[in-house]
Amino acid sequence: MTELFTMEFPAESIKITKLFDSKDQLDEIRENSPEKAVPPKVKEVYGDVYFPEPPKDRPYTYGCLVFSMEGKIGFPDSPQGPLIARQNFLDGEGALADFWVLNMCRAYADAAIMGAGTLQAEDDVTCHVFDNELAEQRINHLNKNSIAPVNIVVSFDGTDIPLEHILWSVEALDKWIGTSPKGAQYLAENFKKPHKVFGPYATFDDIDIENIINTIRESKDIIPIFATGTGDKPDSKVLLKILRELGIKRCIVESPSYIWHLLKNEDLDEGFFDYSGIFVGGTISMGNSNPFDSNVHPHAEILSVGIHRNNFLYTRQRFKYNVTKAE
């Protein structure tokens, strides 16, 4: 068994000063939220955070990511995402606050989606709540039934998933995989951990959801592999529908490529996007090879902006789709 790593997040060091709140929109979200109170540490460090009820056909989704000031998500010579915050040498506590925001978003989530590339780049990455206070408040104040969200790894064809990664040995975490039929076949032949393939499902109508629920409930030691789509192309809409039916109401997305994919599919609701006061350059950014059209693209409404010293910005954004040019 591998223990979950924890660390200290002193509230007085990481407290984020609010610069702006979109009061009307945040009030609307609070009124439609299943939560009626904010965990004490969230209120102390970040302020009020509520989420609305999820859609009926998928979880409520939000991306969590840190950017350089010009929008890069990795250094060309060392592409690990956390370095964008960590290498801000002017404000180490601001970098800690950025990581805490990620932990806050995990605390509210029922599931966390990460890409296979993240596992390749970070050999010890797990999506759990590193702050013990938050982990406790996740259960006591947010009424979660586990100390961490389900860790979901997504991959096109399964071949890029590190099958010996430490994540698969952490007994305290529930682990699921989403991939294509081709990926599921590869994993069925090569993954040594106890697992079960569900699918392939080309559409949601193909799914016996009761069978999935009963199998997972009765076999807690297996890692479910959900095969959706056709060939080597998984279908994220089918996967999200499965997650919703399995009780996942809120999902943090930590994979930059999957964040962009959900934006393309109009299935990303919000982004907790932080900005580290450094400049990076290069080409490592979201959507650099899959841009939007100048006339058809998502829009962001800023829900809140916070600052740590004068080196980090912390934004919460809500996405709007099908916005047309005003006449």
pLDDT for 2: 62
pLDDT tens digits, 130-148: 999 999 999 999 999 999 9
* Structural domains of the chain ordered from first start: 16-110+255-327 (3.40.430), 111-125+137-248 (no CATH)
Q: What is the pTM of this model?
A: 0.95
Average pLDDT of the segment spanning 91-116: 98
- The pLDDT, as a whole number, for residue 176 is 98
In our burial notation (b when 16+ CB lie closer than 10 A, e otherwise), range 200-230 reads bbeebeebeeeebeeebeeeeeebbbbbbbe
Listing DSSP states for 101-158 in one string gives HHHHHHHH-SEEEEEHHHHHH-TT---S---HHHHHHHHHTT--SSSSPEEEEE-SSS
Cα dihedral sign, 290-62-258-68 = positive
The predicted-structure confidence for 217-248, as pLDDT tens digits, reads as follows 888 889 999 999 999 999 999 999 999 999 99
**What pLDDT does residue 123 have?**
87
List pLDDT tens digits, range 181-195. 999 999 999 999 999
d(CA 130, CA 102): 10
Does 3 have pLDDT greater than 80?
no
**pLDDT at residue 327 in the model:** 47
pLDDT single digits (tens) 7-50: 999 999 999 999 999 999 999 999 999 998 999 999 999 999 99
- Does residue 90 register a pLDDT over 80? yes
Average pLDDT over residues 87-116: 98
